[in-house]
A = this chain, B = another copy of it.
């Protein structure tokens, strides 16, 4: 049977700008890995009425309810109390649990503060989960067809408790269902253009499910397959993924989770290429992205950031006369920059960028977003013009992405 889960993160601090809930992300990964789908995440403060409402909602929706937080010793830790009330179960002091907590303090030379007694309150019929890393024990409750898990909030207490004491039980309950995921990373296509291309294909499949995500200038196509076992799920992924690849072709640069700088770096190293960069509007971003990859020194030799005409002429050998005649943002200057950096570093490929990232500096002839990318190798030097949308940061990012993608298509295809 396919199980569904709701996650409730409890704590007023999670409704302030200072703290965010990270537990649910980790829990989602663990639940997905055994075929359990998360239906909703709810984040509530330490407020009895609102928590009660959230629990009732989750009970209506999902088979499994996991809460984190609110099991501490203070007044505003209301999780135990509210769950007991909603489920109509008495809360009684469990002397074994109390003794364990007391011993935990004693073994560290402390005396247990009276308010820790609260942590030994257990709803009737609940199972207590010992906490190896803190004083608050967790709880599980089987209620009608639902399974309810109360976990402490601190990740270093919550994670081992869930892993050691809950995962096995959930795996038994969700026998049969497994989820596999794959991400196709796409660049060079717009979100709606991509969707029009592939909707007729993925639309035929309810399994795998397809979600399209847009970040910066990349698009990710997430495929999620559900099956009785992982090898069937993988086979479903393969089938849809091959069909999508057939349609989208080499706009897909990775299906293995790599970044484009990793794909480009690996390709350059494999083909024995070396590269050097000459950047104006990206200000070093392309070199920075290439060298983020460990071992980049195998294929990256160096670069020049030329923010003035003087640097372009002196360090890259761009003729002053060319800049005056063609303008500093032009295909000719991009080509001269690429040739210049190739020659001065001895790289097999010179990559250059000149453009206007804004917000200032645009003209009618050369508006903000105008970018030329130059490429130079032993045989040929060429340039490509782009008109990019977005603010300064996005134009810089998109330029660097387009430049890396040009390397990939030209030299690593």
Contact = CB atoms under 8 A, between A and B. Distances in A.
Interface string A304-332: 11111011001100000000000000000
B183 A18 contact: yes
A302 B116 CA distance: 43
A239 interface: no
Contact of A315 (B12, B76, B302): B302
A307 B387 CA distance: 31
Contacts of A291: 283-284, 305, 307
Interface string A44-80: 1110001001100100010000000000111110000
A374 interface: no
A407 to B, nearest CB: 16
Q: Which of A17, A40, A113 has the most CB of B within 10 A?
A: A17
Nearest to A214: B154
Q: In the complex this chain forms, how many copies of it are found?
A: 2
B32 A28 contact: no
A344 interface: yes
A37 to B, nearest CB: 8
Contact of A32 (B16, B39, B116, B284): B16
B296 A315 contact: no
Given A32-B16, A308-B302, A283 B294 contact: no
Nearest to A110: B190
Contacts of A39: 15, 45, 50
A25 interface: yes
A40 B54 contact: yes
A306 B302 contact: yes
Contacts of A250: none
B345 A115 contact: no
A412 interface: no
Interface stretch (A82-90, A143-151, A263-271, A391-399): A391-399
A295 B345 contact: no
Interface stretch (A122-130, A168-176, A193-201, A227-235): A193-201
B192 A113 contact: yes
Nearest to A181: B16
A391 B211 contact: no
Interface string A74-108: 11100000000000000000000000000000001
Contacts of A40: 15, 42-45, 50, 54
A191 interface: yes
Nearest to A19: B213
A391 B156 contact: yes
A38 interface: yes
A224 B15 CA distance: 12
B192 A74 contact: yes
A108 B222 contact: no
Contacts of A222: 13, 16, 18
A24 to B, nearest CB: 8
A244 interface: no
Nearest to A26: B17
16 contacts: A17-B26, A17-B29, A19-B213, A40-B42, A53-B61, A114-B196, A116-B192, A277-B305, A283-B284, A283-B287, A283-B292, A294-B358, A294-B359, A297-B361, A301-B308, A303-B305
Lowest 8 A-B CB distances belong to which pairs?
A: A283-B291, A284-B284, A284-B287, A17-B29, A302-B311, A113-B192, A284-B288, A41-B43
Interface of A: 12-20, 22, 24-26, 28-29, 32, 37-46, 50, 53-54, 57, 61, 72-76, 108-110, 113-116, 133, 154, 156, 181, 183, 190-193, 195-196, 199, 203, 209, 211-214, 222, 224, 276-277, 279, 282-288, 290-292, 294-297, 300-308, 310-311, 314-315, 344-346, 358-361, 369, 387, 389-394, 396
Given A12-B211, A284-B287, 9 more contacts: A42-B42, A42-B43, A74-B199, A75-B199, A115-B196, A154-B214, A276-B311, A292-B396, A302-B315
